[in-house]
Structure 1
Amino acid sequence: MPDGVAQTQLTRKLVDSLYVEAMVLADEARAYFEDHGVEARDSLPPAQRVGYAVESLKVTTRLMHVIAWLLTWRGEANGEIDAEQARHPDRRLGLTARSDPTMVDMLPEGAQRLIVASEELHKRVRRLEQDLLAPPEEPKASPARSLLGRLERAF
């Protein structure tokens, strides 16, 4: 199997795996922030309640950016869009605000877990995007070939 085909399949598997992870995390976040975390939120002082709301929006934003980015690459892998369209700046992973560690430490454990998980997923996808969009590296000259070249020139 040619390297390009193996790379495409690996990328498709990785994108599909990340997509499932993002969707599961988005469902967990929705369930927590809309249902299970309401009681915990209501027990917080007013300033922390605002912080809770802000952080829940940051989680949602991070996850939606990740999901949109992954859908772009799934579309490229499925031939729905071409590689040039997938790499267009409008389709890049969106920037998101960082969570305030001081505020996060004051929130319930369930919210903290979701915040950290969304940040970690966003960072992994950001690194993947940087790798995919990086210009290809020039092949490094082999030290042995370099030595052979010098010997050929000398004799």
Structure 2
Amino acid sequence: MASEDARTTLTPKLVASLYTEAMVLADEARSYFERQGRDDRDALDPIVRVSFSCESLKVTTRLMHVIAWLLTQRAVEAGELSPLQARTPGRRLGEAPDSDEALLARLPAEAVALIAASRDLYARVRRLDAHGADTAPPQPSPARSLLSRLERSF
């Protein structure tokens, strides 16, 4: 299969599925970092404890960027935005900081799993966003433009 054919089409069903995944992951992350994560964090060395807190913010940042992007796609589906408007810089997927691989080895397994899941979801949505950015709006046909000018002149 050619790479052109292997591209994923952004359908309402895909957007809904990704949105559900993002919301469930956001709820799991919130629950972990507010409850069990506190105990896990308190058991860490002070420097790693600060890094643990930073990683929880990175997870939140990734997920909020994904959710905002998916809501923009829903607005396109609803006709509230045009596909071209959805590709403007303020509506594209926001940048999210990556995690320090060396640090991840020092964090609790559940935190690492949530970090990995948020990174994976963000990477998938980033590919969809990049595909949309590569898709230029259709250009008017030069032949139709010439025909239109001829019609106006007669």
| TM superposition score normalised by structure 1 | 0.79
- Distance across 1 between alignment mates of 2:33 and 2:113: 12
| Correspondence for 1:29 | 29
| TM superposition score normalised by structure 2 | 0.80
Deviations 1:18-59 (A, max 9, x none): 000000000000000011211111110101100100100000
| Correspondence for 1:118 | 118
> What letter is aligned with 2:103?
M
Does 1:103 pair with 2:108? Answer: no
| Correspondence for 1:83 | 83
Deviations 1:91-111 (A, max 9, x none): 110111110011111000110
Question: Which sections of structure 2, spanning at least 5 residues, go unmatched?
Answer: 1-8, 137-154
- Distance across 2 between alignment mates of 1:120 and 1:83: 25
- Distance across 1 between alignment mates of 2:134 and 2:71: 20
How far did 1:72 drift? 0.2
| Correspondence for 1:6 | none
How far did 1:84 drift? 2.0
Instruction: Give the secondary-structure state (helix, strand or coil) at the position aligned to 2:44.
Output: coil
Identity of aligned residues (%): 56
How far did 1:88 drift? 1.0
- Distance across 2 between alignment mates of 1:18 and 1:68: 12
Number of equivalences: 128
Instruction: Give the secondary-structure state (helix, strand or coil) at the position aligned to 2:105.
Output: helix
How far did 1:10 drift? 5.7
Question: Over aligned residues, Cα RMSD in angstroms?
Answer: 1.3
Task: Please list every run of at least 4 consecutive aligned residues from structure 1 whose deviation after the TM superposition is greater than 3 angstroms.
Answer: none
Higher helix share: 1
| Correspondence for 2:4 | none
Does 1:64 pair with 2:64? Answer: yes
> What letter is aligned with 1:65?
H
Question: Which sections of structure 1, spanning at least 5 residues, go unmatched?
Answer: 1-8, 137-155
Instruction: Give the secondary-structure state (helix, strand or coil) at the position aligned to 1:110.
Output: helix
